[in-house]
Structure 1
Amino acid sequence: MSGPGELDLPRGIALAWGIAADPQRGPKREMSVERIVEAAVEIADSEGLAAVSMAAVASRLGYTPMSLYRYVSAKDDLVLLMQEEATGLPPASILEPDTWRGRLELLYREFVTNYLRHPWVLDVPINGSPTTPNSAAWMDVGLSALGATPLSYDERLSVVLLITGHAYWTGRVIAGYTRVQRETGQETGDIARREDALYRELVTADAYPQLRAAIDAGVFLDESDPFAFAVARSLDGIAAYIGSLEQGAAHEEGQMWPAAPDAELAADKKLREAQRGVRDAERALRDARRHERQTAREAAERLRRTRSDL
């Protein structure tokens, strides 16, 4: 194990924590890691993450790409620093509510707001736990929100990951729809009505009975927030668990299910094989019905042409 100060940090992480050595050569004063990152974030905000390159950033700053490499030696490091800049520090207001639930609800909303402010962050690959100062600050405030609960630290971290996971998925979906609105000029209601019409045309009760029932119930035209509902019900579950701990129940073990004996594993394998056979049969049935519909359309079209020729 490395002792204090002996850990060989990747340069991007060292730059984020402010412990990387500054370059000895290159443009002075006019150039800095901070300016490079700010320029890269500006490009990503306006054109997306794919538009960010060393050449593009250098061009925006009026330098050559080689001059940037003296400060940020790899694009992966630049993207990490961009993500750190866009993440920022969590607002102190997150810990203002009196209850852990109110704090986590605010944490969720702040995460979503940040994703919508910088949607390109959602395109950054996840390569492990974030190890930068701002990311650590968000994790710390999430754990602090649960500080007065009887949850263990493992459980608190799990709850924080649950909330940030909800926020990530919410941000991804909303950002995607926002992009479609911007590119097509459609309003949210227009998109919802088009999707509803497509589902009604393509999804049949025979092939997808529950989905068709949901469509007929107007689920794709419902204006309520499905993400907020999911977060609320997740917090209901956490509240119930905290309540059980306060009543003296033991903490749950990390492994949710005990290991199954060999006989159960064999039975489970047979069940999976049977389920795979059912899925294959259902797929074949859907293909046959699709062929049937196509044949019917072609027959109707031939009949229409025949009638128009008479």
Structure 2
Amino acid sequence: MTEDLEPELPRGIALAWGVAASPQRGPKREMSVERIVEAAVEIADADGLGAVSMAAVAARMGFTPMSLYRYVSAKEDLVLLMQEEATGAPSDAVREAGGWREQLEVLFREQLQHYLRHPWVLDIPISGVPATPNSAAWMDAGLSALAETPLTYNERLAVMLIVTGTAHWAGTILAGYTRVERELGGGTDAVARNEDAMFRSLITADAYPHLRAAIESGVFLENTDPFSFALDRGLEGVAAYIAQVGEGRREQRQPWIAADDADIADDKRFREARKAVRDAERVLRAARKVERQTAREARERRAKQTPGG
């Protein structure tokens, strides 16, 4: 029987777990992986992820860029460590919250707060689950919340995606609105009024009847929390499914992710066919726009021809 080989950890992962070999010597005592990450996070908090570079971090610390590479050998590793530092780990309040739903709700709120404190984390491209201590701690906390349920591990991880995905999306939207608030001034109400006015000027009842009806209802001026609403509805669905599993009924669904075309996505003729479809859809949208405009003009002419119109 062949023993499983121990994988060779990427440098960034090894640094995150504290198992990477330390440099034999450094320029000064002030230089360390922890201090480098701290300086990089300070730059990102102030000016965004795009402002972070090995040169910028080195300048902030008063060293040369080459001296940093003795500790963090690539910017990708630095960004991974920054993400690990900024997202932190869940607090004890998650496990102490009560039932599984209450624990997941606390987990959601804590993740969202981390995103709002460090919005640049949301700009890091997603290339899989970071295999870092804090990332593992968040997953473990979610799985712990669901440990007493009859869900399989696959189902528990899927529930975690509802929570973490909603937190990530909420953080993205709220961080974006915060930037707009700073640019416009006047706070959230000013942003909402500006958004409502823009939609009212662009969206017509002829072209988008249901969206226009929502605008007329004042939907963009309401001070509501759509993310908590979405999370609540999602967790209610999970609770219903848990009850269903407890009765011995477990649904097996086919994946929604379309993988049928994945093997031919790089085929030239297939790409050309897809482009032709997109072009045809654009022409159809333009034709419908002309149709709506013509219909409005026809109604206006008819109104003028009608006695008393």
CA deviation after TM superposition for structure 1 residue 43, in Å:
0.6
Structure 1 equivalent of residue 145 of structure 2: 145
Letter in 1 for 2:146: L
Structure 1 equivalent of residue 268 of structure 2: none
Matched-pair contact (CA < 8 Å) for 1:150–1:245: yes
The one of 283, 288, 302 aligned to 1:285:
288
Structure 1 equivalent of residue 195 of structure 2: 195
Structure 2 equivalent of residue 206 of structure 1: 206
Alpha-carbon distance in 2 for matches of 1:254, 1:45? 42
Aligned with 1:29: secondary structure?
coil
1:177 aligns with 2:177: yes
Structure 1 equivalent of residue 71 of structure 2: 71
1:113 aligns with 2:116: no
Matched-pair contact (CA < 8 Å) for 2:54–2:68: yes
Alpha-carbon distance in 2 for matches of 1:150, 1:168? 27
Aligned with 1:30: secondary structure?
coil
Relative distance call for 1:27 and 1:226 in structure 2 (3 A) is same
Letter in 1 for 2:154: D
Alpha-carbon distance in 2 for matches of 1:159, 1:23? 42
TM-score calculated relative to the size of structure 1: 0.83
Alpha-carbon distance in 2 for matches of 1:188, 1:142? 32
Aligned with 2:9: secondary structure?
coil
CA deviation after TM superposition for structure 1 residue 285, in Å:
1.9
Aligned with 1:210: secondary structure?
helix
Letter in 1 for 2:286: R
Aligned with 2:180: secondary structure?
helix
1:85 aligns with 2:85: yes
Structure 1 equivalent of residue 124 of structure 2: 124
Size of the aligned set, in residue pairs, is 277
Aligned with 2:192: secondary structure?
helix
Matches within 5 A, 1:1-310: 3=4, 6-250=6-250, 252-253=251-252, 255-256=254-255, 280-286=283-289
TM-score calculated relative to the size of structure 2: 0.84
Matched-pair contact (CA < 8 Å) for 1:108–1:167: yes
Alpha-carbon distance in 1 for matches of 2:294, 2:230? 38
Alpha-carbon distance in 1 for matches of 2:291, 2:16? 57
Relative distance call for 1:66 and 1:2 in structure 2 (3 A) is farther
Letter in 1 for 2:240: A
CA deviation after TM superposition for structure 1 residue 3, in Å:
3.3
Aligned with 2:238: secondary structure?
helix
Letter in 2 for 1:31: M
Which deviations, in whole Å up to 9, do the C-alpha atoms of 1:152-207 show, x marking residues without a partner? 11000000011100000000000001111123323101110111111111100111
Matched-pair contact (CA < 8 Å) for 2:146–2:156: yes
Matched-pair contact (CA < 8 Å) for 1:193–1:221: yes
Aligned with 1:212: secondary structure?
helix
Structure 1 equivalent of residue 307 of structure 2: none
- RMSD between aligned residues: 2.5
Structure 1 equivalent of residue 267 of structure 2: none
CA deviation after TM superposition for structure 1 residue 95, in Å:
1.3
Percent of residue pairs bearing the same amino acid type: 63
Alpha-carbon distance in 1 for matches of 2:10, 2:291? 55
Alpha-carbon distance in 1 for matches of 2:278, 2:209? 18
Matched-pair contact (CA < 8 Å) for 1:180–1:186: no
